[in-house]
Amino acid sequence: MAPRPLSSYYLPFEQPLKAFDDRICKLEDLSKQNNMDLGADIAAQVAARERFLVETFSKLSSWERVQVARHVHRPQTADYVELMCEDFIELHGDRAFADDRAILTGFALMDGERFLLMGQHKGRDVHERAVCNFGLPQPEGYRKALWKMRLAEKYQLPIVSLIDTKGAAPDVGAEERGQSQAIAQNLMVMSGLKVPIVCIVIGEGGSGGALAIGVGDRFLIQEYAYFSVISPEGCASILWKDAERKAEAATALKLTASELLKLGIVDEIIPEPLGGAHRDPAAAARTLRATILRHLRELQTVPISQLLEQRYRKLRAIGKYREEVLEHVGAIVAD
């Protein structure tokens, strides 16, 4: 059975895929309409398509990976909620000012495990994107997340956080209402919350706006997601005054999953279906679900005081520097 194109939008480097998909569709339609047996031709095309995918995705550049992470049909938090959870009770509002739809929060049930699920959501169509502000949270989004996290702590529910944002909302209102304070507060409180926290970058991990729901016991990343201090465009315009040099910037920033693993920032890479999560959201969700369950169950065996100490040590260890440990004796490189 040929995989019907799940995504009708093709990234520049995916263009040959479009040709394959068109051909396969045409052959299928022909065989149906004329009752011809074109099985062999279809199988050949499917195999060639598969070969193309394997080859292309085995050597994606950093910038191409960023494009996959931003793919319009890449599954988002709400998709994963639908695909992974047996039940989800959404909880709204920061109890102070607004219900920021850029961050989704609620109680989730998955294979008997109850936890708080939160995540940025960009919106899947024009209407949703407008409502969700393209997944750029306002301070209220972070405060909503904080409020619900405190509730999770009270109910002793673990927390699963799905990260997918270009960054925190860059606008006047956000600054007036304390974007910095909202993010800082989350970083501080999450470091000490007395429940297990699993954070997963499922798309874009854009700077402080992503990290603001990303402090915990596990920091995982999907294969084609990225996590960066600044967007490649922003970096390029600072470095070369030219946002078009984003591909170079993406390479320089070492923002891909495997590079982050090497730097000791992420703990594990979650594999995606061939060609990225948007080619098979259901399969992506199955893997994600299994990974979440494994980590939740693992973390729940650790006594909370030990968990907090481990969480602190983990954050504490991030960074590379040189230190002269013993002066007069000689420099010792300790990074």
Partner 1 sequence: MAHAVPQRPNSSDTAVSRRVQTEGVFRKCDACGESVPVMALRRNLDVCPESGCGHHFQIGALRRVEITVDPDSFRELFGSIEPVDPLEFRARRSYAERLREAQRQTGLKEAVVCGEARIHGQDVVLAVMDCHFISGSMGSVVGEKITRAIEHATAMRRPIVIVCCSGGARMDEGALSLMQMAKTSAALYRHDQAGLACITVLTHPTLAGVSASFAFLGDVIIAEPKAMIGFTGAIVIEQTIKKKLPEGFQEAEFLLEHGQIDMVVERKNMRETLAKLLAFATHKPARRASATAEPIRMEGPEDAAAAQTEDGAIRPQGRAGGPAGRKRTAKQRKE
Does 230 help bind partner 1 (rule: CB under 8 A)?
Answer: yes
- Nearest CB to partner 1, comparing residues 85 and 199: 199
Supply 50's token pair. 């598969």
Question: How far is residue 301's CA from residue 275's CA, in Å, rounded to a whole number?
Answer: 36
Rule CB under 8 A: which of 187-206 touch partner 1? Answer: 187-189, 191-192
Helices (H), 155-256: 172-176, 179-190, 207-211, 232-239, 246-252
What type of residue is 161? S
Residue 167 CB, shortest distance to partner 1, in Å, is 8
Question: Which of residues 35, 327, 328, 329 is near partner 1 by CB under 8 A?
Answer: 327
The nearer residue to partner 1, 47 or 332, going by C-beta atoms, is 332
- Beta bridge partner(s), residue 201: 163, 221
Binders in 291-320 for partner 1, by CB under 8 A: 311-312, 315-316, 318-320
Q: Which of residues 246-285 bind partner 1 (CB under 8 A)?
A: 252-255, 260, 263, 265
Side-chain half-sphere CA neighbours of 212 within 13 A = 32
CB 17 within 8 A of CB 46: no
Asked whether position 329 contacts partner 1 by CB under 8 A, the answer is no
The encoded tokens of residue 1 equal 């059975």
| Shortest distance in whole angstroms from residue 235 CB to partner 1 | 6
235 binds partner 1 (CB under 8 A): yes
Stretch of residues binding partner 1 (CB under 8 A), selected from 8-16, 42-50, 235-243, 283-291: 235-243
Report the C-alpha gap between 259 and 250 in whole angstroms: 12
Name which of 79 and 140 has its Cβ closer to partner 1.
140
Among residues 25, 229, 269, 283, the one that binds partner 1 under rule CB under 8 A: 229
* Nearer residue to partner 1 within complex by CB, 132 or 235: 235
Smaller CB separation from partner 1, 182 or 292: 182
3-state secondary structure of 165: strand
With binding defined as CB under 8 A, does residue 240 bind partner 1?
Answer: yes
Q: Phi and psi at residue 122, in whole multiples of 5°?
A: -85, -25
- CA 163, distance to chain mean position in Å, is 5
DSSP for 279-300, written as a single string: G-HHHHHHHHHHHHHHHHHHHT
Site size for partner 1, by CB under 8 A?
A: 57
Three-state DSSP at 278 gives: helix
- In terms of CB distance, is 19 or 96 closer to partner 1? 96
> In the complex, what is the shortest distance from the CB of residue 38 to partner 1, in angstroms, rounded to a whole number?
49
Q: How many CA atoms lie within 13 A of 26 on its CB side?
A: 8
Q: Which is nearer to partner 1, 244 or 324 (CB)?
A: 324
CB atoms within 10 A of CB 37: 9
165 binding partner 1? (CB under 8 A): no
Candidates 170, 244, 297, 298; binder of partner 1 (CB under 8 A) is: 170
CB of 89 to partner 1, least distance (A): 29
Among 56, 98, 129, 185, binds partner 1 (CB under 8 A): 185
Per the CB < 8 A criterion, the answer to whether 212 and 186 are in contact is yes
Could you report how far apart the first and last alpha carbons of the chain are, in Å? 52
Cα gap 87→216, rounded to integer Å? 24
Binding site for partner 1 (CB under 8 A): 167-168, 170-172, 174-181, 183-185, 187-189, 191-192, 207-208, 211-212, 214-215, 227-230, 234-235, 238-240, 252-255, 260, 263, 265, 311-312, 315-316, 318-325, 327, 335
